[in-house]
Amino acid sequence: MNTNESNASHRIGVDVGGTFTDFCVFDEVTGEMRSLKTLSTPATPGAEVMNGIAELERRHGARPGSIDYFTHGTTVGVNTVIQRRGAALALFTTRGFEDVLEVARLKVPDPYDLFSRRPAPLAPRERVYGIGERTLKDGGIETPVKPQDVHAAVARARADGADTIVVALLHAYANPANERAVRDAIRAAAPAMAVTLSSDVWPVIREYERTVTATVAGYVQRRVAEYIGALQGALGDAGVPAEPMITKSNGGIMAAELGKTDPIAMLLSGTASGVIGAADIAGRIGAADVLSFDVGGTSADVAVIQGGKPAFGTGETVGEFPIHVPTVSVTSIGAGGGSIARVDDFGVLKVGPESAGSNPGPACYGQGGTVATITDAFAVLNLLGAGELGYGAVALDRPAAERAVATLAEPLGLSLPETAESIIRVAVSGMYLEVSKLLSRHGADPRTFTLLAFGGAGPMTACLLARELGIRRTVVPPTPGVLSAYGGLIADIRNDFIRTAFVDLDAKGLGVLDAHARELETRALEWLRDEQGFGGEARLVWSADMRYRGQSYEIETVIDRSDIAAGRSGALAEAFHATHERVYDHADREAPVQVVNLRLVVSGSAPKPVFREQPVVPEAAAPRGGATIFLDGAEREAALHDRGDLRPGRHFAGPAIIAQDDCTTVVPPGFAARTDGWGNLVLEPEA
């Protein structure tokens, strides 16, 4: 119990995963950081948070009334899309453009599969209704909305079973007036009908991208709002005074109340938080180029951090659909600790993407699971140590894992340990393929990167993947199993704003850009001060989507706001030329430049825990015991270490297993391990 309980103050970050829900707790009085895992409860979302809060009080004395800051990452939005359990959508579009979702970009999802099909739209074609209106590309209204036209479409949508309407009209990014007129007419005809406007979700040029993003937002809005409302109520009933904050796809946080109306911003919140936590660790250890490697129960999420900053992008896929809002750029691979192994009809071993989840979970969890997973393979090879997993949430049942893996051994014609190691090798090979493609897109050499492994299953597989990629240094943070929750705890309040300009970079265009910049800045500061209640210093980062005239697509280029105000077109053009040269290795400084979109990121720093580097005293680490393992095709003796014993400077060589409450780290033969002054475990090939 906290010795200064009457003045106790705690900051809590929570991340809900497919198998476990992670908690990171910072005691503002003592400066101590604690963590916890509880099993997720997909059947009753939100219950895992309440279970965790009760457990935190029992274990660490973090009373609900002492929680003055609460951040929460959730997968409710993305799971709604993946499981197709969202709203019954209708889409109102400009008459003549009803096929915008069906046509999409005319790309085959898998160019190597002639039978691959694009996914069925979230708004089926029979519930797409054309509205007689027209907004021109310059924002002029050629044909205004007729309310009776909208009322007729609403009647048809209701008759067809729709409960939510998405409105995405032609050129609404230039002028949202007609979309708002349609919204007003819908509310007059059907006050209870939920309405989502594309111009509110992300007012950007290109009709398909704007429309598909708006349909995803409308599809999840009701369920996200219900979840957040239930969370707010449960926290209030538990006596938690803090207003919850929600982690966002762009690596920031926002007030939970705003998430009810802006669900698109939080779809990828959990994966983004992990990258933010990884970037913080990377900055602390002075690693400029880092590959964050977050392996949970369902997937392995990989992101590139260069120059200490995560890569951002648009067009990330949620389920089967792209969302064109700014997100931390993360590649998800269907190979998590709970990913299921199987032998297909051709006798080939496959792993994932199906997952055993938290219920029943891997067979070794002893909760009724009977199919083999990656975690079961590690259990069979005796690479998980002994005892409990996930802060005591799971007692390891190795015989159950052996029974599950045995079902694959016979059709493969392999021994039990050979089958288990084959499962791991298949999983690692899939990771290797996707990570190699990711690094190639960034033009990056893996040998110059540090692999930062976290998540409940990341440290198990990290060295095996690093060995394949040729990465020389792997880092495992002190509490790797809850780094995503920690990332949410330290994330800044952040939001993105965009305005399509579509102007040449000349005197006239700069005048338009300056007007747009003033508008964006006003909106951004109002959002930060009024909607988020932030009273500190605001940071504004400007960029523009630019291209050479005649090009089809543009490149986001960081710019200086003062160059727009002062009319310095040459400086803005040179920023683009330099970016184009960096991306494509050439630039045409004589060619005219266009600005398609003007962007602004506004952020405010939330209070963060302060850590201090500890003195490093080199000393050989004494193991707590040993274990017979099977690795690299042979039976071996491995040392067992407890992570709590590994003070800064302690070192040892593999093969070894390092156990801690939130995960297990596997050190293969040929690797050396040491603990640095920040408490990170550093794993490197032996010289």
CA separation (Å) from 99 to 93, 102, 207? 9, 5, 11
Q: What are phi and psi of 56, to 5 degrees?
A: -65, -40
Does the pLDDT of residue 335 top 90, yes or no? no
The region, left, alpha or beta by phi > 0 then psi within -120 to 50, assigned to residue 352 is left
Task: Tell me, rounded to whole angstroms, the distance of Cα 679 from its chain centroid.
Answer: 25
Query: How far is 588 from 550, CA to CA, in rounded Å?
Result: 13
More confident residue, 606 or 351: 351
**Residue pLDDT, tens place only, 395-410:** 788 999 999 999 999 9
Residue 590 predicted with pLDDT over 50: yes
Q: What residue spans of 126-206 are helical by DSSP H?
A: 147-159, 177-189, 198-201
What would the mean pLDDT of 452-458 be, rounded to a whole number?
Answer: 91
Output the pLDDT for position 392.
54
Quick one: tokens of 51?
């279970």
First-residue to last-residue Cα distance in the chain: 46
Of the CA atoms within 13 Å of residue 100, those in its CB half-sphere come to 27
| Residue 120 to residue 610: CA distance in whole angstroms | 48
What pLDDT, on the 0 to 100 scale, is given for residue 558? 95
List the CATH code of the domain at 493-604.
Answer: 3.30.1490
**Residue 633's pLDDT is what?**
93
| Type of residue found at 19 | T
The pLDDT of residue 50: 85
Q: 177-189 and 147-159 are packed helices; what angle lies between their axes, rounded to 10 degrees?
A: 60
DSSP, collapsed to helix, strand or coil, labels residue 289 as coil
In order of 8, 12, 23, 488, 652, the CA distances from 1 in angstroms are 10, 17, 18, 25, 35
- The CATH architecture of the domain made up of 85-223 is 3-Layer(aba) Sandwich (3.40)
- The percentage of residues in the chain with a pLDDT greater than 90, rounded to a whole number, is 61
Mean pLDDT of 594-606: 93
pLDDT for residue 383: 93
Mean pLDDT (whole number) for 73-82: 82
Which stretch of 105-109, 206-210, 615-619 has the lowest confidence by average pLDDT?
Answer: 105-109
Q: What is the mean pLDDT of residues 45-55?
A: 83
Residue 389 bridge partners (DSSP): 394
Strands 67-73 and 10-16: parallel
> Is the pTM here over 0.85, yes or no?
no
The yes-or-no verdict on residue 69 having pLDDT over 80 is yes
Q: What is d(CA 165, CA 90) in angstroms, rounded to the nearest whole number?
A: 5
pLDDT band at 355 (very low <50, low <70, confident <90, very high): confident
The pLDDT confidence band at residue 3, using thresholds 50, 70 and 90, is very low
CATH class assigned to 10-80+224-266: alpha beta
Q: What is the mean pLDDT of the chain?
A: 90
539-580 tens-digit pLDDT: 999 999 999 999 988 999 999 999 999 999 999 999 999 999
State the Cα–Cα distance between residues 361 and 383, nearest whole angstrom: 18
Q: 18 pLDDT band (50/70/90 cuts)?
A: low
Can you give the pLDDT at residue 31? 79
Which element (helix H / strand E) includes 464?
helix 458-469
Q: Does residue 157 register a pLDDT over 70?
A: yes
Among 475, 14, 80, 68, CA closest to 273: 14
Average pLDDT over residues 533-541: 91
Q: Which residue would you say has higher pLDDT here, 81 or 522?
A: 522
Looking at the predicted structure, is the pLDDT value of residue 646 above 90?
yes
- Give pLDDT, residue 2: 39
Domain boundaries, the chain: 10-80+224-266, 85-223, 493-604, 619-685
- pLDDT reported for residue 456: 83
Q: What is the pLDDT of residue 395?
A: 73
- CA–CA distance, 220 with 500 (Å, rounded to integer): 26
* Sign of the alpha-carbon dihedral angle for 91, 173, 526, 535: positive
- Calculate mean pLDDT across residues 19-36: 83
Strands 312-313 and 300-306, by their bridges, are unpaired
Question: Is the model's pLDDT at 538 over the cut of 60?
Answer: yes
- Give the pLDDT band (50/70/90) at residue 4: very low
Own/partner contacts of 151-158, CB < 8 Å, gap of 24 or more, are: 151/185, 151/188, 151/189, 153/92, 153/129, 154/185, 154/186, 154/189, 154/190, 154/193, 155/189, 156/129, 157/90, 157/127, 157/129, 158/190, 158/193
